[in-house]
Structure 1
């Protein structure tokens, strides 16, 4: 069975953008053309590939096909660039990378510049919690991910990067107000706490290191790594902040640790598709170098 490239492109674009309308804009065709191409592809493979929801999502069968399409597109883009067959963004390899917000705010960005310069790559960075980022690899929506998951996703390879240490911090005034009697289950149950989003488990993981009780502190949801530190310094709540990010604020006394000298370590891994590709090899090396050159946990 030979699959039609235009149909595959329509399918992949619909998943990537989450709608037929946005896919049509990328492909410079009508919405009905995208819909018809996907429908014809589904008839050809004999399976439903997309859930017509908002946003559009791939089914289990669609996820398997999407991984193939994404890999084929990446290899084609690289080949075109190496051949000099086309110019501009159409030949530029496009990479979707999942990275947690704390890594993005501390050590990850220096990995991108050499890859952009050497390969002319374009990046789609997807921010996702490190405990959930590997799921986007399984769905075929990303080429690579910074993840806390040590087991390789099917069709991927995994490399351990190292450990990011997180510190539980708050302002000195907050410490005096809420923890004057000690950092324990009773005080932690009532002291306001910062969480990144509903998936953020770091604070609760820290709580479990102190108490076995099920406690539900008041929460501020703040989807920003730098805002975590800022709000902790303002005395609004306590939260888990990467040690590298908190170090200067600790030095100046803007924040203090709830339990000095007791960081919460999180081991990070780099997972990427098993592509025999110079681009992916260079990207993996750049990510390892960027993490190694950073001051995580030092």
Structure 2
């Protein structure tokens, strides 16, 4: 197969931006040029690569080519950054754009809120992050479909084509205000209390609270639930007494949370093991970020 760089860039831009028009603006060409390049790429591989919907979506074959496109983009950006000059003289991209390295990473919300950002601040110059916030149980999906090149995940089994490294574990404790605990947990953290007390859940993918509830109730229950998807909003909802919730130790000891919240049971907690998965790619930028993440995890996690 003879795959042209400008064709791979067009595919990447179309998927990332959602439409040919937006991809054209990103690459500074016309929508017709994007369409022609993707058609030429499809002829070269003999497969349909995109569903022409709004937004456009890659087919299964398209995902395989998309992973290749993004790996080439990363390595090209690495090389250009190291040389200090544009790696390509194509009309698609300015020298400034060629020197940038775009690094899409999936990170769970609690890590993003607590320990990850300081690690990312030490990235090499010219690296631009595209952070995808996703539950740690679901970040591997973004690795499989080529959306991201690396992810913090709760999955130890490596995604095909990726390598995995254990980072440590985040410890979560059931927290509530004193007034809430007196009202709903008058006899302590009993199964009946967990079955009836309002609980705050991040979203419908979040099962941390249910894991802890099952330890106490030993049966399926469905307590009243508040869904609060924003990380800071989640902790604030607990602080305001809307319900109880699991907060990471790294967050409990900060700000108003340490003053206004109490653990429902000091011996009750949920540990979530975290892993770093990344594509098997010898990219200096990706390697530097992986090292920074691992160093930060060693200092912050159990």
TM-score, with length taken from structure 2: 0.91
Q: For residue 246 of structure 1, what is the aligned residue in structure 2?
A: 252
Q: Cα distance, 1:88 vs. partner?
A: 2.6
- Asked whether 1:151 is paired with 2:157, we answer yes
**In the aligned structure 2, how far is the partner of 1:143 from the partner of 1:275?**
9
Give the CA deviation at 1:93: 1.1
1:138-172 CA-to-partner distances (Å, cap 9, x unmatched) read 11111111110101111111110001001111111
Q: Separation in 2 of the partners of 1:152 and 1:246?
A: 31
Query: Aligned to 1:210, which of 187, 191, 216?
Result: 216
Asked if 2 retains the 8 angstrom alpha-carbon contact of 1:77 and 1:91, the reply is: yes
What is the alpha-carbon distance in structure 2 between the residues aligned to residue 210 and residue 57 of structure 1? 44
Match of 1:94 among 69, 88, 102: 102
Question: Cα RMSD between the aligned structures?
Answer: 1.7
- Normalising to structure 1: TM-score of the pair? 0.92
Aligned equivalents of 1:250 and 1:71: distance in 2?
42
Report what 2:91 is aligned to.
Answer: none
In 2, are the aligned partners of 1:229 and 1:246 still within 8 Å (CA)?
no
| Distance in structure 2 (CA, Å) of the matches to 1:184 and 1:43 | 64
- Mapped to 2, the partners of 1:113 and 1:128 lie a distance apart of 20
Residue in structure 2 matching 1:169, options 175, 178, 185: 175
Q: Name 2:90's counterpart in structure 1.
A: none
Could you tell me which of 109, 125, 128 is aligned with 2:131? 125
**Native 8 Å contact 2:78 2:284 kept in 1:** no
> How many equivalent pairs are there?
293
Q: Structure 1 CA distance, aligned partners of 2:35 and 2:162?
A: 31
Greater mean alpha carbon deviation, residues 223-232 or residues 167-176:
223-232
Alpha-carbon distance, 1:251 to partner = 4.3
Once the two structures are superposed, the pairs formed by residues 217-228 of structure 1 within 5 Å of their partners are 217-228=223-234
Distance 1:182 1:52, change over 3 A: farther
Q: Deviations over 1:221-272 (max 9, x none)?
A: 11222222211111111111111101245642x1111221222000000111
From the superposition, tell whether residues 18 and 204 of structure 1 become closer, same or farther in structure 2 (CA, over 3 Å).
farther
Q: Is the 8 A contact 2:194 2:217 kept in 1?
A: no
Instruction: Mark the CA change 1:39 to 1:179 in structure 2 (over 3 Å): closer, same or farther.
Output: same
Cα distance in structure 1, aligned partners of 2:152 and 2:120: 13
Q: CA deviation at 1:186?
A: 2.9
217-226 vs 164-173, which moves further: 217-226
Stretches of structure 1 that go unaligned for 5 or more consecutive residues are none
**1:263 lines up with 2:264 in the alignment:** no
Is the 1:185–1:213 contact (alpha carbons within 8 Å) kept by the matching residues of 2? no
**Where does the alignment leave 5 or more consecutive residues of structure 2 unmatched?**
87-94
Q: Equivalent of 1:134, from 137, 140, 153?
A: 140
- Runs of 4+ displaced beyond 6 Å: none
Shift in Å, 1:291: 1.4
